[in-house]
């Protein structure tokens, strides 16, 4: 669909309250809450939840009852608040790596001021780089890039504004998901990840693992993105978990896998039990070979595939990027008076001058701020230049990826790994090797991770705004405000959780809770290992190159290599429930086609199936955040533990019966989604 055919919910000629004090204030409050919750989730499990949809739902509910907000004000609320979740994810995935560098060389930089500075710079950079890309990715490719969370968020805003059946369908999905999440994450009646893994001794398919995180949000995302993309995603997971892992399990002895895990920092030594896969030094075996091989080999292979897929995406996008910048440069030449008289409200972006001078200002700040690593201004200027260079690249890639598969599945870790490797290679080329330069390389990787995460969230927000009829310039300013305010609390939360409690100290945790079993921060450990390995010349390049060549092979077969690589990088437990949602969407579309039912794209976006799926995503995300906050306090965590009925159900049904019960609940949810969509 071309941009001149699309008509937003609020026409460009309509004047309505949008960028107001109450909308910014509420957005900042939500950004603080969801940012803190994301820090906890990311440190604990290496996962995040999308904040835009939950914030939109809350904004509608509170705004209509207490604050009399308009739909455009509600959009500004969710735009401002979502910045906190995106930046928190980038911070937690990278900055803990400072603690794991050689001989504690980076621990001095793991302080509040440095975390705050990097969070703000990375967050602002992600929004800056997205400004000139908005028209090409959001407007011109409106019919090509679905931006599932952005579209779902717009559906929620519109449904809340329309009221009636529109709102009822979305909120019924929200309530359905909330009840499901309560049964699953509080009472634990529904298993969270049913699965089946073959034994290592199986001569046909050793250590093959088929599992699924049967949550409402994954089914909802799958329905929104459809069968094609979800199928390609799960295909990558099938290759990793049902082909490569069984192959490596049949070829590699346990000691070899354990040695690789030690090299990557996932296992202390061959004589220490535990680590990924639960190593047993007495028998020289793993309890879970699939997890051990995934962390030892598959993640590196998939990271290479994601990097190559991202490069292919960038090459294909270059013509669009060039035309976009040309258009932006042309717009700069127009005077403000002329522009205000000719450009519709819904097409007004911040000037390209803001992008250029803002990026230069960030480079200068990085060069002069004493809290950032670097021995001289020249070294810091090179770091700043690398941040802008990689930022332009991966912000583009991230913005396009989330357009296909959503922010929840954005492979930020893969992009960060590619950035870190590229930065280390540049350092090696200029003769900067050894542990002195490890913190400097990590700064580049961390800021690109934060920028890419925020750019992905920004893209979803701008998509929501495009559908509802927001003013892009107001959204972009709101994103800057949200990035700065939420960064203040994100740093405080990270440092708070890093402080060992009395219980942690009693169990052997000394200086830092992050990196322990309580907050393992898996991405940070991997980044530190890569940083040390490349600058010391000990990285396993063979695995990275295998992934890159795999992505090229898939692309030559006519399949989107990036989507496939993302599926290979993600656990199969993530992509499988997404496939179920996509399959339900495919079945609904097939029945519509068979019945010769024709609908426009706008009608489909506001269809009962999409609205109910939106509610599933929102309900699952809201419940996840609330439970994460409750679990972060000892008093409420104890109460949650008392409500946990998992052991009772396991005792009564056995593990197999417990998994079947959970799968039955998930199947019922899928059936109900199909039933609602068919209406």
pLDDT at 325 over 60: no
pLDDT at 438 over 80: yes
pLDDT at 310 over 80: no
Q: What is the pLDDT of residue 482?
A: 92
Looking at the whole model, is its pTM more than 0.75? no
- Please give the Cα distance from 385 to 389 (Å, whole number): 6
553-564 residue pLDDT tens: 999 998 888 788
Q: What is the pLDDT of residue 21?
A: 93
Position with higher pLDDT, 408 vs 40: 40
Quick one: what percent of the chain has pLDDT higher than 90? 23
Quick one: what percent of the chain has pLDDT higher than 70? 87
- Please give the Cα distance from 89 to 39 (Å, whole number): 7
Q: What is the pLDDT of residue 604?
A: 65
DSSP state, residue 243: I
The verdict on residue 182 lying in a domain is no
Q: How many CB atoms lie within 10 A of CB 183?
A: 15
652-671 residue pLDDT tens: 999 899 999 999 999 999 99
The verdict on residue 269 lying in a domain is no
Q: What is the pLDDT of residue 520?
A: 67
Q: What is the pLDDT of residue 605?
A: 58
Q: What is the mean pLDDT of the chain?
A: 82
515-547 residue pLDDT tens: 776 676 767 776 777 787 788 776 677 888 899
Q: What is the pLDDT of residue 561?
A: 86
What's the count of helices (H) and strands (E) in the chain, helices before strands? 28, 4
Q: Are 59 and 461 in contact (CB under 8 A)?
A: no
From residue 430, alpha-carbon distances to 391, 425, 437, 535 in Å are 21, 9, 12, 12
Q: What is the pLDDT of residue 331?
A: 45
Joined together, the tokens standing for residue 124 give 């602002």
Q: Mean per-residue pLDDT for 444-472?
A: 89
H runs (alpha helix) in 369-411: 377-405
Q: Residue 246 class from Cβ within 10 Å (0-12 exposed, 13-18 middle, 19+ buried)?
A: buried
Q: Is 193 helix (H, G, I), strand (E, B) or coil?
A: coil
Q: Is the Cα torsion angle 581, 586, 587, 593 positive or negative in sign?
A: positive
- Please give the Cα distance from 556 to 539 (Å, whole number): 28
The verdict on residue 621 lying in a domain is no
For residue 227, the cross-strand partners are: none
The verdict on residue 374 lying in a domain is yes
Which of 185-189, 322-326, 406-410, 461-465 is predicted with the least confidence, judged by mean pLDDT? 322-326
Q: How many domains does the chain have?
A: 1
From residue 280, alpha-carbon distances to 257, 258, 298, 531 in Å are 12, 10, 21, 28
The verdict on residue 186 lying in a domain is no
pLDDT at 240 over 80: yes
70-83 residue pLDDT tens: 999 999 998 998 88
Instruction: Give the length of the chain.
Output: 679
Q: Which domain holds residue 122?
A: 21-174+349-395+433-506
The verdict on residue 553 lying in a domain is no
Mode of pairing for the β-strands spanning 285-286 and 209-211? unpaired
1-29 residue pLDDT tens: 444 567 888 888 888 999 999 999 999 99
pLDDT at 341 over 60: no
pLDDT tier for residue 629 given thresholds of 50, 70 and 90: low
Position with higher pLDDT, 219 vs 629: 219
Which of 241-250, 344-353, 507-516 is predicted with the least confidence, judged by mean pLDDT? 507-516
Q: Are 94 and 416 in contact (CB under 8 A)?
A: yes
Q: Mean per-residue pLDDT for 223-234?
A: 87
pLDDT at 282 over 70: yes
pLDDT at 366 over 50: yes
Q: What is the pLDDT of residue 336?
A: 40
pLDDT at 211 over 90: no
Q: Mean per-residue pLDDT for 476-503?
A: 86
Mode of pairing for the β-strands spanning 285-286 and 279-280? antiparallel
């Amino acid at each position: 669909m071309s941009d001149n055919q699309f008509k937003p919910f609020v026409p460009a000629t309509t004047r309505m309250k949008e960028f107001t004090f109450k909308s910014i204030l509420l957005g900042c409050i939500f950004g603080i809450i969801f940012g803190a919750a994301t820090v906890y989730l990311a440190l604990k499990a290496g996962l995040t939840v999308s904040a835009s949809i939950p914030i939109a739902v809350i904004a509608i509910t509170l705004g209509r009852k207490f604050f009399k907000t308009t739909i455009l004000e509600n959009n500004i609320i969710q735009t401002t608040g979502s910045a906190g979740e995106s930046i928190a994810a980038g911070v937690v995935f990278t900055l803990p790596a400072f603690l794991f560098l050689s001989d504690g060389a980076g621990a001095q930089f793991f302080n509040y001021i440095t975390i705050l500075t990097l969070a703000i710079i990375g967050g602002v950079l992600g929004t800056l780089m997205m400004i000139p890309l908005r028209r090409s990715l959001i407007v011109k490719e409106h019919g090509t890039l679905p931006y599932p969370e952005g579209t779902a968020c717009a559906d929620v805003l519109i449904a809340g504004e329309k009221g009636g059946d529109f709102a009822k369908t979305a909120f019924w999905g929200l309530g359905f998901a909330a009840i499901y999440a309560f049964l699953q994450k509080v009472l634990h009646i529904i298993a969270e990840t049913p699965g089946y893994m073959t034994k290592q001794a199986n001569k046909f398919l050793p250590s093959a693992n088929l599992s699924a995180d049967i949550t409402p949000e994954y089914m909802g995302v799958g329905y929104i993105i459809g069968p094609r993309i979800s199928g390609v995603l799960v295909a990558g997971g099938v290759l990793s978990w049902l082909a490569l892992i069984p192959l490596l399990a049949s070829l590699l002895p346990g000691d070899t896998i354990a040695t690789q895990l030690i090299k990557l920092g996932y296992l202390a030594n061959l004589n220490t039990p535990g680590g990924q896969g639960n190593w047993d030094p007495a028998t020289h075996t793993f309890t879970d070979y699939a997890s051990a091989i995934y962390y030892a080999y598959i993640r590196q292979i998939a990271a290479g595939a994601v990097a190559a897929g991202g490069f292919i995406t960038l090459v294909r996008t270059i013509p669009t990027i060039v035309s976009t910048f040309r258009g932006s440069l042309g717009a700069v030449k127009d005077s403000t008076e002329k522009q205000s008289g000719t450009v519709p409200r819904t097409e007004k972006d911040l000037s390209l001058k803001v992008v250029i001078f803002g990026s230069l200002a960030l480079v200068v700040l990085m060069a002069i701020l004493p809290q950032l690593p670097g021995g001289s201004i020249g070294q810091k200027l090179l770091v700043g230049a690398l941040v802008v260079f990689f930022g332009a690249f991966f912000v583009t890639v991230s913005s396009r990826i989330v357009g296909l598969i959503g922010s929840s599945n954005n492979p930020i870790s893969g992009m960060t790994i590619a950035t870190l490797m590229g930065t280390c290679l540049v350092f090696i080329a200029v003769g900067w090797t050894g542990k002195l330069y490890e913190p400097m390389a990590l700064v580049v990787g961390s800021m690109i991770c934060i920028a890419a995460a925020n750019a992905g969230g920004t893209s979803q927000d701008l998509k929501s705004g495009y559908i509802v009829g927001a003013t892009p310039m107001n959204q972009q300013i709101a994103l800057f405000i949200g990035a700065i305010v939420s960064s203040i609390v994100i740093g405080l939360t990270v440092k708070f959780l890093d402080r060992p409690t009395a219980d942690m100290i009693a169990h052997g945790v000394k200086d830092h809770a992050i990196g322990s079993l309580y907050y393992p921060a898996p991405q940070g450990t991997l980044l530190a290992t890569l940083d040390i390995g490349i600058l010391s010349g000990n990285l396993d390049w063979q695995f990275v190159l295998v992934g890159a060549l795999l992505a090229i092979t898939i692309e030559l077969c006519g399949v989107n290599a990036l989507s496939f690589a993302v599926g290979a990088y993600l656990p199969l437990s993530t992509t499988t429930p997404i496939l179920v949602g996509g399959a339900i969407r495919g079945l609904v579309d097939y029945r519509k086609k068979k019945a010769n039912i024709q609908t426009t794209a706008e009608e489909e976006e506001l269809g009962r199936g999409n609205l109910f799926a939106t509610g599933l995503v929102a309900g699952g995300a809201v419940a996840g955040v609330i439970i994460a906050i409750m679990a972060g306090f000892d008093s409420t965590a104890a109460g949650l533990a008392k409500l946990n009925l998992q052991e009772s159900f396991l005792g009564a049904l056995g593990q197999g019966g417990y998994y079947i019960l959970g799968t039955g609940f998930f199947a019922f949810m899928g059936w109900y989604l199909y039933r609602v969509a068919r209406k």
